[in-house]
Amino acid sequence: MNISIIGTGYVGLSTGIAFCLKGHKVKFYDINKNKIQSIIKGKIPFFEDGIEKLVKNCVKDGSANFTFKLEEALDKAEIIFICVDSPICSEGISDLTNLKEACIELREKSRREIIIVIKTTINPYDYMEIKELLNGNVFHIAVNPEFLREGSALKDSLNPYRIVVGTEDKIARKKLEKLYSSFESAKLFTDPLSAIMIKYASNSFLAVKISFINEIANLCDRIGANIDDVATGIGLDPRIGREFLNAGIGFGGSCLPKDSKNLVSFSKRAGAKTTIVQKAYEVNRGQFNIAINRLIESLKDVKGKNIGIFGLSFKGGTDDLRESVSLKIISHLRRQGALVKAHDYASCEKAKEVLKGVFISDDVYKVAKGCDALIIATDWLEYREIDWKRIKKMMNGRLVIDGRNILNADKMKKTGFIYKGIGRI
């Protein structure tokens, strides 16, 4: 099939490359000319393991083409996937400017019957608006939410846990059944609003699960229980499952915070209560304080102290800073007069643009030098492999606060650190 992808972020690019690898011809379009030119030169503007090589191969074999001219992208397209971002705006709801602009351009430039698949996350009210916007042309509309995790977006695109399509249009349904027939995963075809609710309910449930284990961890801290064993123990129940029970300083990213907040806001508009998700969001908003409190417990005051932050991306495996808890911790510490230095394996360049006055380096030893304390703020597993004996020699103090519980507590204490995890004795 000839497929067009509008939007070349981690969702659009990963989704389109998966279609290329399944034998389809994919044209990628982005309104940002520089982004397209950079991708054509083989430079992907975000970190996603393995994607650079795959894009190069697909361009070479002719299955992937990139353009910043929408007419070119529409030419011969049988299905158009809209994968533009819907960034969080005030009140935690989505800014649909990019999506609306894409739909208006499609309405103006597409002169024939075509299937439009909305992959961008939209709530039920947004969907009504977008459907209205696309009304009039012969568009066959479907909603096809993405469940990609950053850092494994390619894997999740090629072998998704599930494919959910919401449409009331027989032509769209038939075409998408054909397109997805070569994917092994579970498939659910439903109506658009139910597909949208599956997306929001999934992410909100993950948010609830994380805030639940974080509250249990905070309780474990008080009573002296070990959250690692508690999480493992409850996860042994297949009805609960061990994943997303990793306690820490809270969840970030472009989805969980926004989607949980968005669910609460549109459910209020619908006159329904979603108190559990609201509370999970509130718990998360304050969870980073646990790291600050650990710091104050040991250092009494952070004013003038050198604090090293290990990890800037919102999670390991990505260079995405959106809603990163690390950034919340850094701005709080700087407001308290601390001198902050920060490390990351992938997002240093992006962070330098937003963290003026912070020493940022991809060398952990340079960041650790002279620090009174360190906070592990992102779950880069590489932190387990660094030379902690060398880190200790370079630091001024011995306090390490493991905000992601990724280090071995016993080993750290044996190396001479004052080690503090979250819910770990």
Selected range binding ligand UDX among 12-20, 85-93, 248-256, 269-277, rule: CB under 6 A? 248-256
Selected range binding ligand UDX among 15-23, 70-78, 134-142, 148-156, rule: CB under 6 A? 148-156
In the complex, minimum distance from the CB of residue 304 to ligand UDX, in angstroms, rounded to a whole number: 30
Among 81, 281, 314, 419, binds ligand UDX (CB under 6 A): 314
Total residues contacting ligand UDX by CB under 6 A comes to 20
Among 379, 388, 402, 407, binds ligand UDX (CB under 6 A): 379
> Do 403 and 325 contact (CB within 8 A), yes or no?
yes
Nearest to residue 101, comparing CAs of 185, 26, 31, 20?
A: 31
Residues numbered 192 to 221 that lie near ligand UDX (CB under 6 A) are 203, 206, 210
| C-alpha count within 13 angstroms, C-beta hemisphere, residue 87 | 8
- DSSP string of 52-101? HHHHHHHHHTTSEEEES-HHHHHTT-SEEEE-----B-GGG-B--HHHHH
Spell out, one character per residue from 51 to 90, where the chain touches ligand UDX: x when CB under 6 A holds, - when not.
----------------------------------------
Give yes or no for residue 285 binding ligand UDX (CB under 6 A).
no
Task: Please state, in angstroms and as integers, the Cα–Cα distance from residue 64 to each residue in 49, 54, 56, 166, following that order.
Answer: 19, 10, 9, 26
> Do 48 and 150 contact (CB within 8 A), yes or no?
yes
Among 110, 211, 246, 260, binds ligand UDX (CB under 6 A): 246
Residues numbered 150 to 179 that lie near ligand UDX (CB under 6 A) are 150
Give yes or no for residue 248 binding ligand UDX (CB under 6 A).
yes
Give yes or no for residue 310 binding ligand UDX (CB under 6 A).
no
User: How far apart are the C-alpha atoms of 116 and 82, rounded to whole Å?
Assistant: 7
Give yes or no for residue 344 binding ligand UDX (CB under 6 A).
no
Q: Is 255 tagged catalytic?
A: yes
Give yes or no for residue 256 binding ligand UDX (CB under 6 A).
yes
Nearest to residue 298, comparing CAs of 377, 394, 371?
A: 371
Among 46, 68, 251, 281, binds ligand UDX (CB under 6 A): 251
Nearest to residue 14, comparing CAs of 146, 210, 211, 168?
A: 146
Q: Residue 143: which residues within 8 A CB-CB, separation 6 or more?
A: 117, 118, 122, 127, 165, 166, 167, 192, 195, 196
In the complex, minimum distance from the CB of residue 291 to ligand UDX, in angstroms, rounded to a whole number: 13
Please give the single-letter amino acid code of residue 216: I
Beta strands in 167-235 (DSSP E): 186-190
Among 255, 355, 400, 422, binds ligand UDX (CB under 6 A): 255
Residues that bind ligand UDX (CB under 6 A): 146-150, 203, 206, 210, 244-246, 248, 251-253, 255-256, 314-315, 379
Catalytic residues: 255
